[in-house]
Amino acid sequence: MENCKVQKAEGKLGVLVVGLGAVSTTFMTGVLMTRKGLAKPVGSMTQYDKIRVGRGENKKYLHYNEIVPMADLKDIEFGSWDVYPANAYESALNAEVLKEKDIEPVKDELVKIVPMKAAFDRDYAKRLDGNNVKDCKTRWEMVEELRADIRNFKKEHNCSRIVVLWAASTEIYVPVDENVHGTLAALEAAMKADDRKHIAPSMCYAYAALMEGAPFIMGAPNTTVDIPAMWELAEKTKMPIAGKDFKTGQTLVKSGFAPIIGTRCLGLSGWFSTNILGNRDGLVLDEPANFHTKEVSKLSTLESILVPENQPDLYNNYYHKVRINYYPPRNDNKEGWDNIDIFGWMGYPMQIKINFLCRDSILAAPLCLDLVLLSDLAARAGRWGTQRFLSFFLKSPQHDYTQGEVPVNHLFQQYVMLKNALREMGGYEADEEID
């Protein structure tokens, strides 16, 4: 860290998670168990990955915390908001992701994580019906109460920094409306006018976080921070934002496997993806308006990796379909099934089948940790606005669509972006290129 310009990670890091369901309780329990030396944070890049810095005889392979100052797991303080009043221990048991033996050793700490009342609007998630909800007359009141929650948590837990992470359900799709979402002034006016159609509750969380000097991460496909008004706010507050949607199972496979087809110059006729899952996420996504939000994020991955304009012979006319089916018996153990129709030499057809029997929260928990730690790092490094280097962790990476920017969805190119950002922040040369 010889030339590192990043502020040190001193003091406690408050991690405020919106939603205290399967993903967040798995994340919290895993961090607490790892701190006690009772579990391993498998799947976390910040805890395991080593990257090269320097070239030739100067090259070294270092962990992230040897390149830049990262927050230590022992300095994390967890808090949350949820529509259900159960504490993190009860929620972890209810989620049925982890075995009791992997929750009990940190019961004392989990019991203390009691969710604050959520800023919630049932119109945005009709399948949820909790009573631990703020009684806000307007969207602006939501913002004010959330800001107070963040300030109080920071003070009560003696945190020097806060990061806010959305790990709650997918909201119904909110199309970007230039008149409301185009500028910060218009967004604030809409919040004050209680425009419930254009202002999702998640936007109130993001606004509150940024105004309180906390980076905000959108772990669902909601359009929350994917609007020019929020980019403007992130610039004004000099805070990082990242989104959207944790890249856990099927899209991870897609962003890693599509490059095989593209690099090998094979053709694609169709890619059919279906998922079955039975947790609260599946329940919410069973509502068509909520599924549409997810569909938009999952569909965008392939189109930017296998681009028809670049290779018309190979990708001119493929059919891409994504389905999610709510199937209660599976609970958190979802199944991602992909049928890929490709063609080769002289147009002869072939097929690839991928069946990923994944555990949603087991894959999402390390992403939560990495996104939180790297967003905190970005804030201390003075990097604000959309953090494109975090695309690796996200299904539908934020990008400036107003300028025609195409997001990078290719997993290995995203990894190059991540490595280069860490090198730069650590005072090394960002020496890999994306072709």
Q: Residues 358-367: pLDDT tens digits?
A: 999 999 999 9
pTM, rounded to two decimals: 0.95
Residues 6+ apart with CB under 8 A from 325: 274, 275, 276, 277, 282
CA dihedral (281, 286, 289, 293) positive or negative: positive
Residues 6+ apart with CB under 8 A from 345: none
CA dihedral (232, 238, 239, 240) positive or negative: positive
What are the phi and psi torsion angles at 287 (to 5°)? -85, 120
| Encoded tokens for 322 | 């994504």
pLDDT of residue 291: 78
pLDDT of residue 298: 66
What are the phi and psi torsion angles at 262 (to 5°)? -65, -45
Per-residue b or e along 192-202, where b marks 16 or more CB atoms closer than 10 Å to that residue's CB: eeebeebbbbb
CA-to-CA distance for 45 and 38, rounded, in angstroms?
19
Cα-Cα end-to-end distance for the chain: 28
pLDDT of residue 407: 92
Give the residue with greater pLDDT, 261 vs 434.
261
Task: Show the domains of the chain with their CATH numbers.
Answer: 12-246+362-425 (3.40.50.720), 250-359 (3.30.360.10)
Residue with tokens 């970007």: 176
* Contact of 357 with 332, CB cutoff 8 Å: no
pLDDT tens readout for residues 284-339:
877 887 877 777 766 678 988 999 999 999 999 999 999 989 999 988 888 999 99
Residue positions counted in the chain: 435
DSSP string covering 153-200: HHHHTTEEEEEEEE-SPPPPP----HHHHSSHHHHHHHHHTT-TTT--
Per-residue b or e along 375-414, where b marks 16 or more CB atoms closer than 10 Å to that residue's CB: bbbbbbbebbbbbbbbbbbbbbbbbeeeeeeebbbbbebb
pLDDT tens readout for residues 381-415:
999 999 999 999 999 999 999 999 999 999 999 99
